[in-house]
Amino acid sequence: MTDDPHTILLIEDDAATRTFLADNLTADGYEVVPAETARDGARLLETRFPDIALVDVGLPDGSGYDVLRRVREADGLASRVDPATPVILLSGRASELDRVRGFERGADDFVGKPFSYPELRGRLGALLRRRATAARGGRLRVGELEVDPAARETRVRGELVTLSQKEFSLLRALAAEPTRVHTKDELLRTIWGYRTTGHTRTLDSHACRLRQKLGAHGDRFVVNVWGVGYRLVDGPVTR
């Protein structure tokens, strides 16, 4: 998955600013996930696993600080939000005191409006590089399976396995707790953002393809617990 672009969660209620940033960041090779409210942004944090978040401080249903707190207080498992996700705050109020308050609450950077897009892009790139360097030691290992969230790579017995974005997101969710049964409703909400699951076969088809790709050498991963959901392995695992 080395060719996948970095995913940026953009939480900005001003339509002109949101469109400008989304258009330019997309043109620069990023995948942009836009949101207008703190509520939508919080939901996308749990379903899209962004590599970085750009968050406006002033939002119609709350504050960007609320979103920042949600990230930093996450446990990384039950909430599915990575507490180490880099967050850049955007604000029309950018005095020294405002910036200090942002940093004290856990922001990685604070950019005042109006901003220079090239400078913002440079700050984004620097944070993503530092994030990748820091996360190299955070690989998930389950027996012969290795998942590297930072590099978005999956290896079985040392061989690279090419996965789609959703397949990788499914594997990452399962690998976080490899022996726990993850219910279908939970996985559909977490990865696809479904509020009502109905009778969709989306999860089953992705799980089937993931099982086939990981089992090319006879390894058995992605266990279907009939009527309930999926887990990665049946018994004790080696990490």
- The residue-averaged pLDDT of 18-34 equals 96
Q: Write out the two tokens for 202.
A: 């989306």
The pLDDT tens digits of the residues spanning 27-40 come to 999 999 999 999 99
pLDDT confidence of residue 138: 62
Residue 238, pLDDT above cutoff 80 = no
Q: Which amino acid is located at 96 in the chain?
A: E
Residue 87, pLDDT above cutoff 70 = yes
Q: What percent of the chain has pLDDT over 70?
A: 89
Calpha distance 41→87 (Å, rounded): 12
Residue 204, pLDDT above cutoff 60 = yes
Residue 171, pLDDT above cutoff 80 = yes
pLDDT confidence of residue 110: 92
Strands 182-183 and 62-63 turn out to be: unpaired
The CATH number for 140-231, chosen from 1.10.10.10, 1.10.357.10, 2.60.40.10, 3.30.70.2610, is 1.10.10.10
State the pTM of this model: 0.59
- Assign residue 193 a region: left if phi > 0, alpha if psi is -120 to 50, beta otherwise? left
> ∠ CA 202-233-218 to the nearest 5 degrees?
90
What one-character-per-residue DSSP string does 66-132 give?
A: HHHHHHHT--SSSS---TT--EEEEES---HHHHHHHHHTT-SEEEESS--HHHHHHHHHHHHHHHH
Tell me whether the CATH fold assigned to 7-135 matches the one assigned to 140-231.
no
Task: Give the start-to-end residue ranges of the domains of the chain.
Answer: 7-135, 140-231
Residue 205, pLDDT above cutoff 70 = yes
The pLDDT tens digits of the residues spanning 95-141 come to 888 888 889 888 989 999 999 999 999 999 988 887 765 555 467 88
Q: What percent of the chain has pLDDT over 90?
A: 46
The answer to whether 46 and 2 have CB atoms below 8 angstroms apart is no
pLDDT confidence of residue 60: 94
Domain 7-135 has CATH 3.40.50.2300: yes
Closest CA to 87 of 113, 54, 118: 54
Alpha-carbon separation of residue 60 from 12, 30, 35, 229 (angstroms)? 10, 26, 12, 37
